[in-house]
Protein backbone atom coordinates (compact mmCIF):
# COMPACT_ATOMS: atom_id res chain seq x y z
CA UNK A 1 0.00 0.00 0.00
CA UNK A 2 2.91 2.31 0.86
CA UNK A 3 4.45 1.74 -2.57
CA UNK A 4 1.16 2.31 -4.41
CA UNK A 5 0.68 5.66 -2.65
CA UNK A 6 4.27 6.62 -3.45
CA UNK A 7 3.91 5.70 -7.13
CA UNK A 8 0.63 7.60 -7.35
CA UNK A 9 2.34 10.67 -5.85
CA UNK A 10 5.27 10.18 -8.22
CA UNK A 11 3.03 10.46 -11.28
CA UNK A 12 0.53 13.00 -9.96
CA UNK A 13 2.83 15.58 -8.27
CA UNK A 14 4.54 16.79 -11.47
CA UNK A 15 1.08 17.41 -12.94
CA UNK A 16 -0.02 19.40 -9.91
CA UNK A 17 3.25 21.31 -9.51
CA UNK A 18 3.73 22.30 -13.13
CA UNK A 19 0.81 24.13 -14.65
CA UNK A 20 2.98 25.13 -17.64
CA UNK A 21 2.89 21.64 -19.16
CA UNK A 22 0.00 19.48 -20.25
CA UNK A 23 0.86 15.78 -19.83
CA UNK A 24 -1.07 12.62 -20.48
CA UNK A 25 0.31 9.59 -18.65
CA UNK A 26 -0.35 6.04 -19.74
CA UNK A 27 1.02 3.73 -17.07
CA UNK A 28 1.23 0.11 -18.14
CA UNK A 29 3.67 -1.16 -15.49
CA UNK A 30 2.77 -3.87 -13.00
CA UNK A 31 3.93 -2.42 -9.69
CA UNK A 32 2.98 -5.49 -7.68
CA UNK A 33 6.50 -6.81 -8.38
CA UNK A 34 8.15 -3.89 -6.55
CA UNK A 35 9.22 -4.89 -3.05
CA UNK A 36 9.58 -2.73 0.04
CA UNK A 37 13.35 -2.99 -0.27
CA UNK A 38 13.14 -0.88 -3.43
CA UNK A 39 11.14 1.79 -1.62
CA UNK A 40 14.14 3.84 -0.43
CA UNK A 41 15.62 3.86 -3.94
CA UNK A 42 12.30 5.02 -5.36
CA UNK A 43 12.06 7.77 -2.72
CA UNK A 44 15.57 8.94 -3.59
CA UNK A 45 14.73 8.97 -7.30
CA UNK A 46 11.48 10.78 -6.54
CA UNK A 47 13.32 13.44 -4.52
CA UNK A 48 15.76 13.97 -7.39
CA UNK A 49 12.83 14.18 -9.77
CA UNK A 50 11.23 16.85 -7.58
CA UNK A 51 14.50 18.83 -7.53
CA UNK A 52 14.71 18.62 -11.33
CA UNK A 53 11.10 19.77 -11.58
CA UNK A 54 11.78 22.71 -9.25
CA UNK A 55 14.85 23.67 -11.28
CA UNK A 56 12.89 23.51 -14.52
CA UNK A 57 10.10 25.64 -13.00
CA UNK A 58 12.68 28.23 -11.91
CA UNK A 59 14.21 28.15 -15.38
CA UNK A 60 10.77 28.64 -16.92
CA UNK A 61 10.05 31.54 -14.59
CA UNK A 62 13.36 33.25 -15.39
CA UNK A 63 12.88 32.75 -19.12
CA UNK A 64 9.33 34.16 -18.90
CA UNK A 65 10.66 37.22 -17.06
CA UNK A 66 13.33 37.73 -19.71
CA UNK A 67 10.86 37.35 -22.56
CA UNK A 68 8.41 39.77 -20.93
CA UNK A 69 11.13 42.34 -20.29
CA UNK A 70 12.39 42.95 -23.83
CA UNK A 71 14.93 45.59 -22.77
CA UNK A 72 17.07 42.94 -21.06
CA UNK A 73 16.26 40.03 -23.35
CA UNK A 74 19.31 38.54 -25.00
CA UNK A 75 18.22 36.24 -27.82
CA UNK A 76 21.43 34.19 -27.68
CA UNK A 77 20.91 33.63 -23.96
CA UNK A 78 17.27 32.65 -24.46
CA UNK A 79 18.19 30.30 -27.33
CA UNK A 80 20.88 28.71 -25.15
CA UNK A 81 18.37 28.26 -22.33
CA UNK A 82 15.85 26.70 -24.71
CA UNK A 83 18.50 24.29 -26.01
CA UNK A 84 19.44 23.45 -22.43
CA UNK A 85 15.80 22.87 -21.58
CA UNK A 86 15.43 20.61 -24.61
CA UNK A 87 18.54 18.66 -23.58
CA UNK A 88 17.17 18.25 -20.04
CA UNK A 89 13.90 16.93 -21.50
CA UNK A 90 15.79 14.41 -23.65
CA UNK A 91 17.85 13.36 -20.64
CA UNK A 92 14.68 12.87 -18.59
CA UNK A 93 13.21 10.72 -21.37
CA UNK A 94 16.37 8.58 -21.45
CA UNK A 95 16.29 8.21 -17.67
CA UNK A 96 12.67 7.08 -17.91
CA UNK A 97 13.56 4.52 -20.58
CA UNK A 98 16.45 3.28 -18.46
CA UNK A 99 14.17 2.96 -15.42
CA UNK A 100 11.72 0.91 -17.51
CA UNK A 101 14.57 -1.37 -18.57
CA UNK A 102 15.70 -1.76 -14.95
CA UNK A 103 12.19 -2.74 -13.86
CA UNK A 104 11.97 -5.24 -16.74
CA UNK A 105 15.39 -6.65 -15.83
CA UNK A 106 14.38 -6.99 -12.18
CA UNK A 107 11.28 -8.88 -13.27
CA UNK A 108 13.40 -11.23 -15.40
CA UNK A 109 15.80 -11.77 -12.50
CA UNK A 110 12.86 -12.68 -10.30
CA UNK A 111 11.58 -15.15 -12.89
CA UNK A 112 15.04 -16.72 -13.19
CA UNK A 113 15.35 -16.94 -9.40
CA UNK A 114 12.02 -18.78 -9.27
CA UNK A 115 13.25 -21.18 -11.94
CA UNK A 116 16.50 -21.78 -10.06
CA UNK A 117 14.58 -22.55 -6.86
CA UNK A 118 12.28 -24.96 -8.69
CA UNK A 119 15.30 -26.67 -10.25
CA UNK A 120 16.92 -27.01 -6.82
CA UNK A 121 13.73 -28.56 -5.42
CA UNK A 122 13.68 -31.09 -8.26
CA UNK A 123 17.37 -31.87 -7.74
CA UNK A 124 16.80 -32.40 -4.01
CA UNK A 125 13.90 -34.78 -4.77
CA UNK A 126 16.10 -36.65 -7.28
CA UNK A 127 18.91 -36.98 -4.73
CA UNK A 128 16.48 -38.33 -2.11
CA UNK A 129 15.13 -40.89 -4.61
CA UNK A 130 18.66 -41.86 -5.66
CA UNK A 131 19.66 -42.38 -2.03
CA UNK A 132 16.55 -44.50 -1.42
CA UNK A 133 17.31 -46.59 -4.53
CA UNK A 134 20.92 -47.14 -3.50
CA UNK A 135 19.85 -48.13 0.02
CA UNK A 136 17.30 -50.62 -1.36
CA UNK A 137 19.89 -52.04 -3.77
CA UNK A 138 22.33 -52.51 -0.87
CA UNK A 139 19.64 -54.28 1.16
CA UNK A 140 18.91 -56.54 -1.84
CA UNK A 141 22.59 -57.39 -2.28
CA UNK A 142 22.92 -58.10 1.45
CA UNK A 143 19.92 -60.42 1.28
CA UNK A 144 21.42 -62.12 -1.77
CA UNK A 145 24.79 -62.59 -0.04
CA UNK A 146 23.09 -63.99 3.05
CA UNK A 147 21.09 -66.42 0.88
CA UNK A 148 24.22 -67.51 -1.00
CA UNK A 149 26.19 -67.96 2.22
CA UNK A 150 23.69 -70.50 3.60
For residue range 42-72, list pLDDT tens digits in order. 767 777 777 788 888 888 888 777 777 765 5
* Statement: residue 111 has pLDDT above 80: yes
Nearest to 10 by CA among 59, 47, 58, 64: 47
* Statement: residue 29 has pLDDT above 50: yes
The per-residue pLDDT of the chain, averaged, comes to: 75
Its pTM stands at 0.38
Q: What is the spatial distance between Cα 125 and Cα 107, in angstroms, rounded to a whole number?
A: 27
Mean pLDDT across the stretch 140-144?
A: 91
- How far CA 69 is from CA of 19, 30, 42, in Å, comes to 22, 48, 40
Q: Do 56 and 21 meet the contact criterion of CB atoms below 8 Å apart?
A: no
Domain assignments of the chain as residue spans, ordered by start: 2-149
Q: Do 85 and 56 meet the contact criterion of CB atoms below 8 Å apart?
A: yes
* Statement: residue 9 has pLDDT above 60: no
Nearest to 47 by CA among 55, 37, 58: 55
Amino acid sequence: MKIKKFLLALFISPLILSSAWSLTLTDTCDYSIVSDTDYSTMVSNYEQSKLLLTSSQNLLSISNQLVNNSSTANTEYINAMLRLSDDIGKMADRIGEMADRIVATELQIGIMADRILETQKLQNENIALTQANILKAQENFNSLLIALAQ
